[in-house]
Structure 1
C-alpha cells in the first residue's frame, strides 16, 4: 500500500495572505494561501492571474535570433520560395507542423511538410530523414520541436544550399547548430522572459513576428491558438506565465474550432469540443494524435489537423482512433512484462535506486507511456529499452526531485545519444553496454536520491473547513484554472471529519471508494460526498473511522459532479489518514 508524505506547500511571503484578503472583496484565507504558494503575492499579480489575457504575452522579438528568423521567413513568403516544414512525431511536433504549414499555405507559399518515422529515421532532425525529405528547389527548411543539438544536420542542409530555421524548446548543447536562426527560449544566451514554451508555442511566436515584418497585425496568429493549446496540454510544460495565458485562450478557440480534423477527432474520442477541458485534451485527443506516430506514420496527424472537409477528416480520425486502440493493447502487454522485470530488479538488491528494463521486442512507440506507469507504480526513475536495428533505444521518466537528464549526462560516455529535460528523456546505446549503463545509471540516481524522495509527496495548499464551502468559494476556485504542471488543482486538507453513512466501493470492478463526511464541529451540516478513484485500498480505514468514531483527515481536490440533472460539489480524494491526538496530521 502506497504511503504519502503530507507537507504544507511553503509560502514565500506569509504576510501576503492577509494583504490579499484585505484588498479583495471576497477572498477566503484558503484561496489566498493558494495564490501566495504559487508566488502571487501582490494585488496586481492576483488580478493578472485571475484575468489571463493575450495582451500580457511577451514580444516575440525578445527571443534570440527572432529578428533574423522572421525576416528570412517573410522573404520566403514574398518571393514564394519552396519551403519544407520538418516536425517531430508527437503532439507538440505535429501541431507545430500544422500551424506553420497552414500559415504558409494561406499566403500562397509552395510548402511541404515532413514528419520523420520514429523507426526508420529516429528522433529529431537526422541526415537520413533530410536525404529523403529535401527536394531539388527547396530553399528554406524550418525544423519544429527539434534541431537544437543537430549541428551535423545543420551543416548537411547548408551544404545542400538550404537555409535553416530551428524552432525548439529542448535543452541546448554546448554549441548551437549553425543556422539562419536558432529559436529556443532555453538557449543560455536567450533573453526571452519565459523559457518554458512548448515547441508549437515557439512556432506561434515565429508566426507573430513574421506577421509584423510583413506589416500585418500579430493578432492574426491567434487563429492558431487551438493548436498551441493542444501542444501545451500534451507536452506537460509548466502551466504558468505565458503558457497559462495560451492555454486559457487556446481552450476558448478549441471549443469553437471549425477545423474539420479536430471536430471529427473529438467525435471519435467522445469529448465534445464545446466543453473540452485540459483533461479532455490529455486523455481524449492527445493519445489519438500521438498514436499516429507511435504505431505508424505521424504525417497522418498533420494531415488530420490540416484537413479541409469532414469526409477526409473523418477517415483520418478513424485511422488514429484505431491506432490508439491498438496502442492500448500493446501498452497492457508491455506493462505486464515490465512489472515482472521491475519486481525482480527491486527484489535482487536493496540499493536499487532506478530501474532499467529491456526487452528486444518491446514497441518503441509505447515504451515512454509504459515507463511513466512503472514510475507511478514503483516510484523510481525508470528507463524502458527495446532493440531497433541492433541498437537499444529507450525512454526515461523520473520522479520529483531527480533530474533524469543530468543523471543521463553522468553516463554520457556509455551512450550513443540522449536528450530531454528534467522528468523525461530519450536515449540510445549499444547492447553490449547495457549492464554497465544499468549500474552507472543506478549510481547516478543514487547520488541524487534521499530517503524522503522515495516517498511521494502530497503538497497541501491549505487547510479547509468544509462548513465554509459555498457557491462563491467554488466560482472563485474555478478561476485558478486551467490547471497543469506547477499550477495543479489546489490540494486541500480537511481535519476532524466524521464518516456519515456506510462507505462503499463503486464502479464496474469496485475499485472506486465512495463515502460521505462532515465536519464534527458542525453536526447539522449536510454531508459532503467523497469519491476516491482507484482508492479501494482505503476502504478499511474509512470503515474503521466510522465504527470507532476516530476522526479522519482528507487530502482532496474539489470538483463538480452532475448526476440525474443535479450538480453538487464533490471531494476528489487523494489520500486520507486516521487522526491521532498525539501526532499532528501531516507529520
Structure 2
C-alpha cells in the first residue's frame, strides 16, 4: 500500500517580507528568502545573526533562577575539599552531562564521583539509592543533572541525610519545586532566563560557565566540552534555535577536531571519521545509539567511563563494549518490532483505535521506546509499548504531530503510578491489573484531541522552486542553503516543491528494492539539465514514475537538497520526500 501524505505549504504571516529579504540580501532566490522568513528571519540584521551566530549570542548563565546559589556552593566545594556526587540520567543527555560536569570538577581537584540509576532497578529520576550512595561515599553535595525537577520526596530525603542538593533539569516542573539548595530549570514559571530549550547537558554547560565566572577564571574552559554538548543536543532532539543552534554549530566543529579519547574510540568502533561529522544525523544515527545502548542493555555507567577516559587505551575497551551492546540492541529491536506490528494490526482490526497500547511482559524495557517510534512511523498513531519490570509495568510513549502525549497521559493520571515526559515522548508505570483500563482511558484522551486532518501524515513545504534555479554545488543557491544548518527540530531541513518534471530514468535499489533512484528534469527548460534523486524507503513509488514515463504525464516532487560524493566527484542530489503525478 502506497503511503499517502498531506502536502502542507507552510504559511507566512507576512508574505511581503519575502521580496524585502530578496532586496536586502542581494537578490537572494525567492525560495530561500521564503525559507528564511519561515524561520522568523525577516530583516537584514536577523539574517546576519542567523548565518553568523556565534558565542556573543549566548545568554548570561546568571540570568537563570538559582544560578547564583549553585555557582557559589560549587566554588566553595572546589576551595574547601567538599566531596561531590554528580547524579545523572541513563540516556545520552544524562551521561554526557554527567561526564562533562564530573570532568570539570575532577580537573579542579575536587573529590568527585558519579552515580547513574539503573533503568531496571531504580527507574527514571532521582532515587534514594543514589542519595544513599552519596552519603556512603562521604559526599556532602549532590548535583542532579537531567532529572530531579519533580523529585520532592527524594529532595526531602537528601535533607534528612545532610546533603546539599543542586538540581539542574530541563523537564517541565510541577506547581511547586523540590526543596533544594538550588533548582535550575529554565522552564520554571518564575524564571526569566530567555531560552527554555537547553538539554540537560546544556544546563551542565551553563553551570560550568557560572562557576568559572564566579571564580574569575577564563570562560574558554567551558568550551572544551562542546563535543559532549553536541552529542547531547542532537541525541535529545531539542529545538535547534537560539542558544542550542549556536552551541550545536560550534559543537559539530568541536567533534570534528575532538581529542577526547572516549569520543575518538567511540567513533573508531563505529567506523566513523570524526572529520566527516557535519550534521546532527551523524550523531543521531551513529554515535548517539551506541552511547544509549549502555543504559538500554546493561548500565549507563560504562558510557560515562568511556567519556571520562584519560587515554585511548583506557577508552577502547568501553567503546568495544558499547559497540557490542548496540549490535545486541538492534537484534532485539527487530524481534520486538515484528511482534509489535502484529499486535498493532490486530488492535486496529478489532478496535479501530485512536492510539495503540501494546503490551508484552517479556519485551526488553531498554528498547521499547525505539520500537514505539517505529510503530508510530508505520501506523501514524500515538503509541505506547508496555512491559514488565519486576512487579511493575512500565512503558514508553511516542506521539504524532499535533497530539501532546504528556497532556493525554495527564488525563489518565489516576490509573498510573508515575509518568513524565514531553509533548512527543513520555514514560509511565502502572499496575498490571490496570492495563486494560489504561488502554481505554488513553484511547479516549487521544480521541478528544485528534482531528481528521491529523490522521494523515503531513509533509510541510517551505517553498516551490524551479529546478534550474538550484544549479550545482558551485552555485549560490546551495552555498546559502548550507548555511541554514545545523538542522533539527525547530530548524528542519527546508523542503521544496517542484512541478512539471519529466522522469528521465527510474529504478529501485537496495537489497530489498526498498529505495528509489531516479532522474528528473524541468519540462521545457532551456538548460535540459537532469537532477539525480534518491528516495529512501520509497521503492513502492516506482509505479508512479513508471506511469509518468508511459503516459507522458509530468510529476511533482517534494525534496530536500544534499551533496552526494561518488568517485571523488561531488554533485547535488534531490532527497525525495514524496512524488505524485502532476495532474494539473
Q: TM-score range by the shorter chain?
A: over 0.9
Query: Deviation at 1:216?
Result: 1.2
2-side partners of 1:472 and 1:47: how far apart?
17
Q: Is the 8 A contact 1:561 1:569 kept in 2?
A: yes
Query: Deviation at 1:128?
Result: 3.1
1:146-185 correspondence to structure 2 within 5 Å: 146-185=147-186
- Corresponding residue of 2:485: 481
SS in structure 2 of the partner of residue 569 of structure 1:
strand
Q: Is the 8 A contact 1:147 1:166 kept in 2?
A: yes
Query: Deviation at 1:242?
Result: 0.8
Query: Deviation at 1:509?
Result: 2.1
Q: In the alignment, is residue 316 of structure 1 matched against residue 318 of structure 2?
A: yes
2-side partners of 1:217 and 1:48: how far apart?
25
SS in structure 1 of the partner of residue 362 of structure 2:
coil
Q: In the alignment, is residue 92 of structure 1 matched against residue 96 of structure 2?
A: no
2-side partners of 1:119 and 1:150: how far apart?
18
Bigger Cα displacement from structure 2, 260-269 vs 128-137: 128-137
Bigger Cα displacement from structure 2, 404-413 vs 270-279: 270-279
1:122-141 correspondence to structure 2 within 5 Å: 122-141=123-142
Q: In the alignment, is residue 196 of structure 1 matched against residue 205 of structure 2?
A: no
Deviations 1:307-330 (A, max 9, x none): 111111111100000000000000
2-side partners of 1:99 and 1:223: how far apart?
9
Deviations 1:537-573 (A, max 9, x none): 1000000001101010000000111111111111010
Query: Deviation at 1:136?
Result: 4.8
- Corresponding residue of 1:584: none
Q: In the alignment, is residue 571 of structure 1 matched against residue 574 of structure 2?
A: yes
Q: Is the 8 A contact 2:134 2:142 kept in 1?
A: no
2-side partners of 1:50 and 1:57: how far apart?
15
Q: Is the 8 A contact 1:12 1:36 kept in 2?
A: no
Q: Is the 8 A contact 1:513 1:535 kept in 2?
A: yes
SS in structure 2 of the partner of residue 323 of structure 1:
helix
2-side partners of 1:430 and 1:84: how far apart?
33
Structure 2: segments with no counterpart, 5+ residues: none
Query: Deviation at 1:390?
Result: 1.5
Deviations 1:126-164 (A, max 9, x none): 113323443252110000000000000001111100100
SS in structure 2 of the partner of residue 297 of structure 1:
coil
- Corresponding residue of 2:498: 494
Q: 1:524 to 1:26 in 2, by over 3 A?
A: closer
Structure 1 ranges of 4+ moved more than 6 A: none
SS in structure 1 of the partner of residue 403 of structure 2:
coil
Q: 1:79 to 1:26 in 2, by over 3 A?
A: farther
1:222-233 correspondence to structure 2 within 5 Å: 222-233=223-234
Q: Is the 8 A contact 1:380 1:399 kept in 2?
A: yes
Query: Deviation at 1:26?
Result: 4.4
Q: In the alignment, is residue 287 of structure 1 matched against residue 292 of structure 2?
A: no
- Corresponding residue of 2:559: 556
1:300-339 correspondence to structure 2 within 5 Å: 300-339=302-341
Q: Is the 8 A contact 1:13 1:41 kept in 2?
A: no
Q: Is the 8 A contact 1:71 1:213 kept in 2?
A: yes
1:25-44 correspondence to structure 2 within 5 Å: 25-44=26-45
In the superposition, the TM-score normalised over structure 1's length comes to 0.97
Query: Deviation at 1:12?
Result: 2.4
Q: Is the 8 A contact 1:12 1:39 kept in 2?
A: no
- Corresponding residue of 2:271: 270
- Corresponding residue of 1:249: 250
2-side partners of 1:176 and 1:205: how far apart?
20
- Corresponding residue of 2:21: 20
SS in structure 2 of the partner of residue 448 of structure 1:
coil
Q: Is the 8 A contact 2:468 2:529 kept in 1?
A: no
2-side partners of 1:219 and 1:152: how far apart?
38
Q: In the alignment, is residue 447 of structure 1 matched against residue 448 of structure 2?
A: yes
1-side partners of 2:135 and 2:346: how far apart?
47
1-side partners of 2:289 and 2:103: how far apart?
23
SS in structure 1 of the partner of residue 140 of structure 2:
strand
1-side partners of 2:70 and 2:14: how far apart?
41
- Corresponding residue of 2:235: 234
1-side partners of 2:87 and 2:253: how far apart?
28
- Corresponding residue of 1:383: 384
SS in structure 2 of the partner of residue 513 of structure 1:
strand
Deviations 1:168-203 (A, max 9, x none): 000101211000100011111111111010000011
